[in-house]
Structure 1
Amino acid sequence: MSEEQTDIKQPSDWIVAFDIAKGTSAGKFVGRPFQMVVPLRTSGDDLLIYRRSMDTFQPATVVSWNPRTDKETPYLLFQLPEDDEYGLSDPEKTEITYEQGHVFFAPRELVRDDDHPTYPVLSVLGVGTAGLKH
Structure 2
Amino acid sequence: MTARPADRERLEAHVSQYLILIYGDAEAEERMLTERNDAIMQGHLDFGARNRAAIVGGEALQPPSTATTVRVDGDGGFAVTDGPFAETKEALGGYYVVEAADLDAAIAMAKQIPTIGGGVEVRPIMVFT
Q: Same fold (TM over 0.5)?
A: no
Task: Output the TM-score relative to the length of structure 2.
Answer: 0.32
Q: Which has the higher strand share?
A: 1
